[in-house]
Copies of this chain bind each other. A is one copy, B any other.
Amino acid sequence: MKKKTATAARSRPVDIVQVLRDGISSHAIPPGSKLQEAKLAKDFAVSRTRIREALTELELRGLIKRVPNRGAEVARLDLTQVFEIYDAREALEGMCVRLATQKAPRETWQEWVEQLREGGPLEKLIDKGDVESYFLHYERLRRRIIEAAENPVLAGMLDSILEKTRVIMRRVQILPGRAATGLKEHRAFVTAMRAGDAERAEQLRRENIRSAIRTLKRFQSFIL
C-alpha cells in the first residue's frame, strides 16, 4: 500500500468501506499493511473524519487491527483463526443447504446436477486444469444456495467470514486433488438437494467442508 490505488478517485461517500473491504479481502492490500488516515483521506479526496468512520467499520468487521494512538493495519489471520472460521462456516453453510432444500422447488437444482454430473462440463474444466473457472462456478452455486435459503442473518454472517478467508479458499482449491474431490462432494450434496432430502444434503455439505479442512490441515505449511 504505497501509492493510491488507481481507481480510488471516487468521491462518493458510501463505498469507501466497500473499496477497502474488497482490497483487503482480495489481498490487493496485503495483511500487515499500515493504513494511514491522512493518506487515505487524500486518496479518496475526502476528510479524515469519513476515513475514520470507515476504519471503525472495518475494525468491527475484524478486517483491520487498531491500536490507540498508533494507527491501523490490515489484520493477519493465523491458522488458528482460519480453523475457527471454517468450523463456523461448516455450521452456517450446512444450515443454508438445509433451508435452501426445504424452501426452493426441487427443480431449482436440476441444472447444477447436470453441470456437476460425471463427465459433465465442470468435471471437464477440472480435467483441463482450469481450477479457476471451476471455482467461479462453485461460487455461483454457493450464492444461489444462500439466496434460496432466504435468511439474511445467515447470509450476513457468511459474508462477514468469507471476506476474511476468500484468498485462503482459493488457495485450497489449487491443492493437489482438492478440486476433483470437491467436485465429487458437491455433486453428492446437490443430488440430495435435487431429491429434496434436506437432512442428507446438509450432512453431505458439512462433510464437504470438513474434507476441505482436512486438506487444509495437511498442506497448511503451503498456505500460510
* Interface positions of A (Cβ within 8 A of B): 49, 52-53, 56-57, 60-61, 81, 84-85, 87-88, 90-92, 94-95, 99, 151-154, 157, 161
Q: Are B84 and A88 in contact (CB under 8 A)?
A: no
Q: Are A92 and B88 in contact (CB under 8 A)?
A: yes
Q: Are A84 and B151 in contact (CB under 8 A)?
A: yes
Q: Are B84 and A95 in contact (CB under 8 A)?
A: no
* Beyond A52-B53, A53-B53, A87-B95, 16 extra complex contacts between A and B, CB < 8 Å: A49-B49, A56-B60, A57-B60, A84-B152, A84-B153, A84-B154, A87-B99, A87-B153, A88-B95, A88-B154, A88-B157, A91-B91, A91-B92, A91-B95, A91-B154, A153-B161
Q: Are B81 and A153 in contact (CB under 8 A)?
A: yes
Q: Name the CB-closest residue of B to A54.
A: B56
Write 30 A-B pairs (CB below 8 A) sorted by A numbering. A49-B49, A52-B53, A53-B56, A56-B56, A56-B57, A56-B60, A57-B60, A60-B60, A60-B61, A81-B153, A84-B151, A84-B152, A84-B153, A84-B154, A85-B153, A87-B95, A87-B99, A87-B154, A88-B95, A88-B153, A88-B157, A90-B95, A91-B91, A91-B92, A91-B94, A91-B95, A91-B154, A92-B92, A153-B161, A157-B157
